[in-house]
Chains A and B, each alone.
Chain A
Amino acid sequence: MSTFTLNNLCYSYGSRQRDVISNLNYVFEDSKVYSIIGKSGAGKTTLLSLLSGLVKPTKGSILYDGNDISKMDPYRYRSNYVGVIFQSFNLLPHLTAIENVVLSMDISGKKITGKKEKAQMLLNSVGLDDATAHRRILKLSGGEQQRVAIARTLSYEPSVILADEPTGNLDGETQTGIINIFQDLAHKEGKCVILVTHSPYVAQMSDMVYELAVKKD
């Protein structure tokens, strides 16, 4: 079943600027891990921003389960249907790891019982122990923050996981661990996982790879 359908998707920064993304017609289905690769400036992160509803297409449309996401409430869409793992994690530094995860559950508005316990369990599942879960974000390493960001995304059970360079800050062993988590999310839990990456290893581990080319004037 298709989760995302891109119809002639175009995007440019400003009306006189060239298109960063031009006439994309991709389809993303659930239960699969997708990698979007391409050189810097090809529009990988822009595509991720479009899919997460942070920006709106200048032309064309993105359908999520058949609905045009530009016509959906962007906040509800982001807090319920898609989980975004940002390249710089975008965690709240004054909160602990567990508080960051609980906050996402709160924002989603979903009725989730035992939020703290669930957050703890998710953090454990991405390889963070209880002590780390109660540390403030600023006290965590890049890899630990990456895991917190993943746990935060999983907390409200979105059907789509969008991740920007999810393994960029990780060592080889941790990288494999994270990729395994994404594969499990897609293959065991039926989620659509879309990864933006430069890593040939991540691309190789994905079910499908889309390559974006740099547009020339």
Chain B
Amino acid sequence: MYLLKNALKSISRAKTRNILIVIIASIITISACIALSIRQSAETAREASIDQMKITAQISVDRQAMLKSVQSGDRTNVLRNIQGISLEEMLSYAKSGNVDDFYYTLTSSLNSDEATVPVDTSEVTESTEDLNTQFEGMGPGGSRRGFAGMGNQGDFTVVGYSSHNAMSTFMDGTCKVIEGSVFAEDTKEPDCLISDELALLNDLTVGDTITLINPNDEEETVVMKINGIYHNSEAAMSSGGDMMGFNAASDPANRIYTSYTALRAVVDNSEANAVVEVDETTGREISTALRGQEAGTYVLADATAYDAFQKDAEDLGLDTSIYAITSPDLDDYEQSMIPLERLSSYAAYFLLIVLIIGGAILVIFQVFAIRERKYEIGVLAAIGMNKRKVAAQFIAEVFIVTFIAIIIGTGTGSVISVPVANRLLQDQVQAVEVSQQTTMNNFGGGFEGRIPGGAGFLQGRMDGSGDADYISSISANVDIVVLLQLLFIGILLTLVSSASAIVSILRYDPLKILSNRS
């Protein structure tokens, strides 16, 4: 008890020095508090996001893996003969117990007849037919089975959904039916949804029909009935600098949605009536059939189920040297975490630097304090106070001062950590956005490659606008974990700064000190 009493007396005796130590230790604590709050918030946000997230996954051709697995001379042929995964195969993997739901789409590209004008911002006056891009198995899944053989791209992208749940842009609110209603899930009728921009441009209303033409065969037409008109909230925002400036089919306003069954029937009918010719130059078959590309989406409960599904699919026969399971949700999630992860990483380095510099300053303070109090140590030891008790008193002094600093630092830190953390996070978001926008612009707006993020690289799936839903605000609260960490830091600083004092005290010979003094 008297140790504590003596410690308090000693603290009050050396007010100036101890106030200075409190200020330094408070600055360390405030910095540590902010850094730890950021790290804790990042961890909480990470866990909360991943827990709440319903993960979707797709199976696609892993072109890179395929190309790597063959000799360099055969790579062109391998690329030409890539086979996308069939719906039957996708359905077989959906049997995995980890799959909550499975839905699929069929995407095709059609032209309009003269009566319907596509929304086209490309400012190209020539016939779109002249500018048509020829498909050659370059869909998102790398599927050749869908857009098999060479084919022309139309002005409209028609997507057939097996389920309303598959209509992710409607599910997340990006698109909304503003007139009429959605088509029935399993209807065979070519009922469709068109965008409000397309409807406005062509004076179309619910109940009207539009005639679409097979871009490979002008004689083949498809008449679709407008069941509803939707508004895409991102269509207007993303109208600058992406691929839609190059062709009409890339414009979200030219997307027509229908049921899978209806579009399947159209594509099947086209294939049945197609004319197949052999190109004299290349010797390859060219079909007039309407191209269609199928894609499946697996819905998984969480990240654990996603990992388990990967294993299940392999067990069920998925050739992982050709196909890869990817999750845009996880990619988006990782993308959204980039600024926060970066900030969290910076916070860790910052904390380390603050602790090293702060610790060094406190050590120097203690070294001088001990030299100053050498006589006191000598007297205490000479009158019978055990050196360990003398050391304990010094540790108590440092701890009391550090504890006061922790209280002040934690109080201040908890108040300023939220605005400071959010300010730093917004700076990070801005930095990442600028960096990614630069990358997007460099690629003409259609970049789908690797976006720099954090210490390494993360696969960044960018939509047409290049926008990612970053976490730009956190509630950097000082919770019990942060408090315990701060207390640990306080104890650590106390021990580190006291270490020199303890060593000195234990080495001091009281008689020598007193003799020198005399």
* Chain A residues near B (Cβ < 8 Å): 49, 54-55, 75-80, 84, 86-88, 90-92, 94-95, 99, 103-104, 106-108, 152
- Other-chain contact of A86, B6, B382, B387 (Cβ < 8 Å): B382
Query: Which residues of A are found within 8 Å of B387, using beta-carbon distances?
Result: 75
- Contact B383 A78, beta carbon cutoff 8 Å: yes
- Other-chain contact of A84, B2, B382, B386, B517 (Cβ < 8 Å): B382
Query: Which residues of B are found within 8 Å of A92, using beta-carbon distances?
Result: 376, 379-380
Instruction: Say yes or no: is B495 at the interface (Cβ < 8 Å to chain A).
Output: no
A80 CA / B386 CA spacing, docked (Å): 12
Given contacts A88-B518, A92-B379, A103-B2, contact A54 B511 (CB under 8 A): yes
Residue of A nearest to B386 (CB): A75
A104 CA / B383 CA spacing, docked (Å): 7
- Contact A152 B383, beta carbon cutoff 8 Å: yes
- Contact A88 B385, beta carbon cutoff 8 Å: no
Given contacts A79-B385, A90-B383, contact A103 B518 (CB under 8 A): no
A42 CA / B9 CA spacing, docked (Å): 41
For B2, B13, B383, B386, the residue with the greatest tally of chain A CB atoms inside 10 Å of its CB is B383
| B: number of interface residues (CB 8 Å) | 21
Query: Which residues of A are found within 8 Å of B13, using beta-carbon distances?
Result: 94
Query: Which residues of B are found within 8 Å of A76, using beta-carbon distances?
Result: 384
Residue of A nearest to B387 (CB): A75
| CB pairs A–B below 8 angstroms (14 shown) | A49-B511, A54-B511, A75-B385, A78-B384, A79-B385, A80-B384, A86-B382, A90-B378, A90-B382, A90-B383, A103-B383, A106-B2, A107-B384, A152-B383
A108 CA / B385 CA spacing, docked (Å): 8
A10 CA / B260 CA spacing, docked (Å): 108
Known pairs A84-B382, A86-B382; list 13 more (Cβ under 8 Å).
A54-B382, A75-B381, A75-B385, A75-B387, A80-B384, A88-B517, A90-B382, A92-B380, A103-B2, A107-B380, A107-B383, A107-B385, A152-B383
Residue of B nearest to A106 (CB): B2
- Other-chain contact of B379, A49, A55, A91 (Cβ < 8 Å): A91
Docked complex: B498-518 residues within 8 A CB-CB of A: 510-511, 514, 517-518
- Other-chain contact of A79, B6, B384, B517, B518 (Cβ < 8 Å): B384
A150 CA / B153 CA spacing, docked (Å): 108
- Contact B385 A90, beta carbon cutoff 8 Å: no
Query: Which residues of A are found within 8 Å of B382, using beta-carbon distances?
Result: 54, 78, 84, 86, 90
- Contact A54 B384, beta carbon cutoff 8 Å: no
**B253 shortest CB reach to chain A, Å:** 84
A99 CA / B379 CA spacing, docked (Å): 14
A200 CA / B446 CA spacing, docked (Å): 107
A52 CA / B472 CA spacing, docked (Å): 70
Query: Which residues of A are found within 8 Å of B379, using beta-carbon distances?
Result: 90-92
- Other-chain contact of B514, A78, A90, A103, A152 (Cβ < 8 Å): A90
Docked complex: B159-173 residues within 8 A CB-CB of A: none
Residue of A nearest to B511 (CB): A54
**B252 shortest CB reach to chain A, Å:** 80
Query: Which residues of B are found within 8 Å of A104, using beta-carbon distances?
Result: 383-384
Residue of A nearest to B13 (CB): A94
A76 CA / B381 CA spacing, docked (Å): 11
Docked complex: B468-518 residues within 8 A CB-CB of A: 510-511, 514, 517-518
Residue of A nearest to B510 (CB): A54
A55 CA / B5 CA spacing, docked (Å): 30
Docked complex: B382-400 residues within 8 A CB-CB of A: 382-387
- Other-chain contact of B511, A55, A94, A95 (Cβ < 8 Å): A55
**B513 shortest CB reach to chain A, Å:** 10
Query: Which residues of B are found within 8 Å of A99, using beta-carbon distances?
Result: 9
Contact with A along B384-426 (1 / 0, CB 8 A): 1111000000000000000000000000000000000000000
